[in-house]
Amino acid sequence: MTKPPLLIDLKFSDRAAVVAALKRHFADRDVIDLGAAENAGRDLSDCRYAILWQPDADLFSRATNLDVLFSGGAGVDRVLALEGLPDAPLVRFVDPSLTRRMSEYVVLQCLYHLRQVAAYRSSQKARRWQPLPQPEACAATVGIMGLGELGRDAAAKLKMMGFNVVGWSRTAKTIDGVETFDEAGRDAFLARTDILVGLLPLTAETTGLFDLALFEKLRRGGPLGAPVFINAGRGGSQVEADIVAALDRGILGGASLDVFETEPLSAESPLWDRENVVITPHVAADSDIGALFAHVERQIARFEAGEPLEHVVGRKRGY
């Protein structure tokens, strides 16, 4: 029996990686890759599965019989916002390689600010020998907002490095060795935090959450001199004008930003010129194409065997 075809519409920057990975995956079914010119006007009505990342605007008017949608990245807010999104299960990409890379990014940025790398880079540029106080990781508390797969793994890795770690999520979560707070305890969580890490999905509740009022509630007088903000979650959760204002006023002592309200970040943004700000182009945890396709293969196999899909997004909660 012929298996139903799979549709791929992935606007990833590394097109060659997509092509190469397709040679190693989905050998048992037809794959319609909309990144290939020959598929531009192809009939998509027989497709039952789709892997999506910034798909064509008319996709769902052409692919009208989809049974399962797969997000090409860890975030799903862009997929949920698509025009004409069908009422089919949407599956998040959850993979150990993605989780590990996110934790690496978070640990790197926490250590960058703890060990005052920006200040030493400035001294190096000026050829100035100027030792600075070097607090241990155990002197600082990292507060993680978002305790899903990524947040829990980052918390474990940070604890291994010696940081104190606390966590926050909208609803109560339990993590061994980590004090956690829910919505009612948000101010208490912020008051404990020297380095704030954002790993939240983008929902109506988290849009614009990281603003000046929130930064003002972070711990004052900690070992870094002023709190630091790290965001590797979603750009829509931060108010960039407020980050600039907080930096100007000393409410924040630094920031590491991998995501932005509008991407790519405008060349006119004042964030580019800040020595105490690290900017990366949404690469904290890029999707590994091979891992993504293997994940989709496993989920399709479950679905076709009559087993429940894993990592299905709750449309109302947005993740």
Selecting among 113, 234, 295, 298, the annotated active-site residue is 234
48, 219, 282, 295: which one is catalytic? 282
Q: What share of the chain is helix, strand, coil (3-state, %, to 5)?
A: 35, 15, 50
Six token digits for residue 132: 């600075």
Neighbours of 10 (CB within 10 A): 21
Return the bridge partners of 144, or none. 167, 197
Does residue 15 carry a catalytic annotation?
no
SS3 for 238? strand
- The answer to whether 276 and 228 are in contact (CB under 8 A) is no
* CA 160/CA 156 separation, integer angstroms: 6
First-to-last CA distance in the chain? 35
234 is catalytic: yes
d(CA 263, CA 240): 12
Environment class of 307 (CB within 10 Å of its CB; exposed 0-12, middle 13-18, buried 19+): exposed
- Catalytic residue set: 234, 282
